[in-house]
Amino acid sequence: MIQLYITLLTGLIFNTSYKPSYEIEQNLKPNFIVVFVDDMGYGDLGCYGHPTINTPNLDKMAYEGQKWTQFYSASSVCTPSRAGLLTGRLPIRNGMIGKQTRVLFPNSKYGLPDSEITIAEKLKESGYKTAAIGKWHLGHKKEYLPLQHGFDYYYGIPYSNDMDRINSETCCPGSQYWQKYENQKPKSTNYNVPLIENNEIIERPADQTTITKRFTDKAVEFIKNNKEDNFFIYLAHNLPHTPLFASDNFLGKSKRGLYGDVIEEIDHGIGLIIEELKKNNLDKNTIVVFTSDNGPWLPFETHSGSAGLLREGKGTTWEGGQRIPGIFWGNGIKPGVINDLGSTMDIFPTLLEMSNTSMVYDRIMDGVSIKNTLLKHEPSKRETIFYYRSREIYAIRYGEYKAHLITQGAYNYPKGSDRKIILDKPLLYNLNIDPSEKYNVADKNPEILVEINKILEKHKKNLKAPNDLLKDREFGS
């Protein structure tokens, strides 16, 4: 405090233009680390209300930075949610959403089109070193891997950690899986998932018991090796997607069971990354984002997460499917709890604007820069959220209201809930008052439904979906 006073006084005496450190750092291009976990629910962190999962590092990030309470993924399942984040566009626009099967599989022919522009490709234009670490799920063939989409380095698995099952009986889905592993841990060797470095398979099957630690270690290593340059790290943990695995140091440590062990190991890794930033004096010029690809995979019961007070989970267009934690931390981020609307697609233009990188103007972009909300608490400019399921719009949020046009459960959990219902009259919920979507207020607000219908018609008119890509790119083929 005394030193600050002396500095200010000296500046006045000698008529120099003193700038607080906040402004100085804002003149630099920041580094970026985006942590994107898999299937973690809205209610799975201590700072979002979980009573028995300990997440001290993420809680501290939320306290020192911003915690967004109305932050959304681009989709409620894996592949399209990742395409949305990395391109800043709705998956329907870039063809990364299947009609029958909604995600890519080991037998899928295609991946993220070369015509799409990723955050990594744009940041490389500004001299950034780029790394993708963790789950990719945007095409497992060489031509679709991260190095072909703007990343200098890749270390991770190409699709979900439950794919390439070796023994279907021991790796069964749904409640049978939960019953089998209720009192024992799954076997990593039951899944023939490859671990890839750059373009080459280096381990198969990947040892998933140590995979969270190894992803963290690779992120720390990349920071060390590129501390003299600007860098962008996309750290996409493949957990807590089932099957769940934790390393020996965390196994059996959480009151929440195996699922809690997994989350607490991820949180520990976040702490190691921030520690490395501070060790190299990079915390003053690095923005860290933490979020999830979609909500919890509820059929796996105690091996799945929680959406908290939100309705349903992964795979659905209810709030529990797409509303996810959103934490932003770093020097210059104005601390606070943000109740404005935000989306993972907003990360794309925000990082570009913060790094003085040119925007993309040759196509429709769905991301909205939230730079001024992060730095100044200016209101977010986002007004709408589109909830796609496969290639149909099931729901639309406009301001505080959300209208459901179609409803459907996911994964037949609970049994009989998977029936698709096209509504004669939309359901309408005020999500500021009723985030659990319990009380239909359509009859009391007909004018809101009129406005939402206008938004829907405008969106369809300007969609310009790549029909040539969608036509022949069914994910399961």
Structure-token pair, residue 347 = 């990360």
* Contact in structure between 437 and 322 (CB atoms under 8 Å): no
User: Beta partners for 202?
Assistant: none
Distance (Å, whole) CA 117 – CA 137: 16
Residue written as token pair 């004018």? 447
Active-site amino acid positions: 78, 137
Q: Taking the CB of residue 22, how many other CB atoms lie within 10 A of it?
A: 12
Sign of CA dihedral 256, 258, 264, 267: negative
Residues contacting 262, CB < 8 A, separation 6+:
212, 239, 240, 244, 245, 246, 250
Q: How does 404-433 read in b/e, with b if 16+ C-beta sit within 10 Å?
A: bbbbbbbbebeeeeeeeeeeeebbbbbbee
Q: For residue 55, how many C-alpha atoms fall within 13 Å in the half-sphere facing its CB?
A: 27
* Contact in structure between 230 and 128 (CB atoms under 8 Å): yes
Distance (Å, whole) CA 140 – CA 39: 20
Complete DSSP assignment for 401-434: EEEEEEE--BTTBSTTTT--EEEEEEEEEETTT-
Structure-token pair, residue 9 = 């006084």
User: Given its phi and psi angles, is residue 348 left (phi above 0), alpha (psi -120 to 50 degrees) or beta?
Assistant: alpha
Q: What is the largest CA-CA distance in the chain?
A: 78
Distance (Å, whole) CA 373 – CA 369: 9
Distance (Å, whole) CA 347 – CA 340: 15
Residues contacting 314, CB < 8 A, separation 6+:
39, 76, 77, 294, 295, 296, 297, 298, 320, 321, 410
Sign of CA dihedral 165, 413, 402, 446: positive
Position 263, amino acid: I
Structure-token pair, residue 73 = 């993924």
